[in-house]
Structure 1
C-alpha cells in the first residue's frame, strides 16, 4: 500500500470524525468506560491474587497442647508431625514465647492490657506447623486430631477459602460487565460508521462503479473506528491510573494491604493491553457495520 494512499485513508477518516463529532465522542467515551471498568476488575483480580499468595504463605497449623500433657506424648506428637510428607517445618513454641509474641502484636501502647499475665500465663505451649501447600492442611489435621495431649488445633483454611470465593465473584462479575460494555461499544462505534457510510452512500456507489475494491472503501472507516478505539483506550488508561493511584496511596500505610500492585503496572503493562483491545473494538465495529453498505 502506497504512502499517498495511506495518507488519503487517514485524512478521510479524520474528516468523517469531525462531521460526526457528537456520536464519535459518545463512542470514545463508551470505549473508555468499558476499558476503565475492565481495568478496575483486572487490578482487583491481581491484588486479590497477590493477597491470596501472601495469606497462603502464612497459613500454618497451631497445635495447642494441654497443660497436663506428658513429655512422652509431646515427643510422640512432635515426631509424628515431622515425619509427615506434607509438613515443611515444625516449631515448638512455649507459652512464654507466645506471650512475648502477643505483646509485640498489640504494641507498646496497649501493654497495660497484659500486665500481670506473666505470672499466670494463660497461653498454652504449642507446635507451629508449616505445610508445603494450603491444600495439605486438612490432611495434616486429620492425621493428628485424635492424638493425646492436644487442647485445640487452629488453621487458616477458612481465610483462604473466603479469599478464593471473593476472587471468583470478582472474576465473574468483571466478565459479565465487560461483555455487556463490549457490546455497547461495538454498537456505538458501528452506528458512528453507519451514519458516515449512509451520508456517503452515493459516493461509495460511484467508487464501486469505477472499480474501487471493497477494501479500498473499507479502510477509511476501519481507521476511523481504530482512532475511536485508541482515543478511548488512552482516556480509559489515564482515568484508571489516577484513580488507582489514589487508592494505592491511601492503602499504602495499611499493613494488611501492603502488597498491592504498583500503579506503574497500569502504564507499563495495562496501557498496551488497552491499546490492543481499543484497536480491536474499533476495527471490528467498523467491519461489521460496513457489510450491508458494500452490497450497493
Structure 2
C-alpha cells in the first residue's frame, strides 16, 4: 500500500469525523466508558486476588490436641500436615506458649483474666499451621481431621469461602457489564459510520462505477472507526490512572496492612490492552456498518 494512499485514507477519515463531530464524540465517550468500567473491575479483581494471596500468608489453622495424645500421635499429625502442598510453616505450641500468647494479646488486663491459670493451665497443646494460599486451608483441615490425638480444629474456611465468593461474583458482574457496554459501543460506532456512508452514498456509487475496489472504499471508514476506538481507549486510560492514583495515595496506608497494586500497572499493562481493544471495537463496528452499503 502506497504512502499517498494511506494519507488519502487518513485524511478522508479525519474529514468524516469532523462532519459528524457530535456522534463521533458520543462514540468516543461510550468506548471510553466501556474500557473505564472494564479497568475498574480489573483493578478490583487484581487487588482482591493480591489481597487474598497476602492474606493467605497470614492465615493460620490451629489443630488442638487431646491431653492424652502420645508422641507417635503427634508425629503422625505433623507428618500428615507437612504432606499438604501449600503449607508454609508448622509450629508446635504447647500449653505454656498458648498461655503466654493470651497474656500478650490482652496486655495489661491479662493478669486478672488469666489469674490462676499458671497452676492449672486449661489451654491444650496445638499445631499452628500457616499456609501460602487460603485455598490450602481446606486441604489442611481434611488432612488432620479424624487423626488419633486430634481434639478439634480451628480454621478460617468460612472467611476464605466468602473472599473467594466475592471475587468470583465480581468477575461475573464485570464480564456481563463489559459485554453490554461492548454492544453499545459497537452500535454507536456503527451508527457514526452509517451517517457518513449515507451522506456519501452517491459518491460511493460513482467510485464503484469507475472501478474502485471494495477495500479502497472501505478503508477510510475502518480507519475512522479505529480512530474513535483509540481515542476512547486513551481517554479511559488517562481517567482511570488519575482516579486510581488518588484512591491509592489516600487509602493505601489504612487498609489493615493489605497493599494495593501500584497505579503504574495501568500505564504499563492496561494502556496497550485498551488501545488494542479500542482498535478492535472501532474496526469491527465500522466493518459491520459499511458492508451492505458496498452493494450498489
Q: Compute the TM-score of the two structures, normalised by the length of structure 1.
A: 0.88
What is the rounded CA distance, in whole Å, between the counterparts of 1:257 and 1:230 in structure 2?
38
1:9, 1:223 within 8 Å by CA — same for their partners in 2?
A: yes
Other-structure match for 2:93: 93
Contact 2:30 2:232 in 1 (8 A): yes
CA contact (8 A) 2:57 2:131 kept: no
Is the counterpart of residue 288 in structure 1 residue 284 in structure 2?
no
Matches within 5 A, 1:67-216: 69-70=67-68, 73-84=69-80, 85-86=83-84, 88=87, 89-98=89-98, 100-101=100-101, 111-117=107-113, 119-121=115-117, 123-130=123-130, 133-144=136-147, 147-148=148-149, 150=151, 152-216=152-216
Q: CA deviation at 1:97?
A: 3.5
Local SS of the residue matching 1:116: helix
Q: Write the deviation string for residues 184-218 of structure 1: whole angstroms up to 9, x where unpaired.
A: 00000000000001001011111111111111111
The corresponding residue for 1:221 is 221
Q: Is the 8 A contact 1:55 1:160 kept in 2?
A: no
Uncovered stretches (5+) of structure 1, i.e. residues with no partner: none
Query: What secondary structure sits across from 1:143 in the alignment?
Result: coil
Task: Report the equivalent of 1:8.
Answer: 8
The answer to whether the 8 A contact 1:41-1:174 is kept is: yes
Structure 2: runs of 5 or more not aligned: none
Deviation at 1:259, TM superposition (A): 2.8
* Aligned CA distance change for structure 1 residues 209 and 113 (closer, same or farther; 3 Å): farther
Deviations 1:84-140 (A, max 9, x none): 12274431123453455456667xxxx344343464456544221346833412322
TM-score scaled by structure 2? 0.88
Change (3 A) 1:149 1:241: closer
Q: Secondary structure at the match of 1:206?
A: helix
Deviates more, 1:79-88 or 1:176-185: 79-88
Separation in 2 of the partners of 1:156 and 1:2? Answer: 65
User: Could you tell me which residue of structure 2 aligns to residue 239 of structure 1?
Assistant: 239
Q: Secondary structure at the match of 2:112?
A: coil
Cα distance, 1:161 vs. partner? 1.3
**Structure 1 stretch displaced more, 39-48 or 175-184:** 39-48
Contact 2:28/2:229 (<8 A) preserved: yes
Greater shift after overlay, 75-84 or 130-139? Answer: 130-139
- Pick closer, same or farther for the CA change 1:156–1:126 going to 2, 3 Å: same
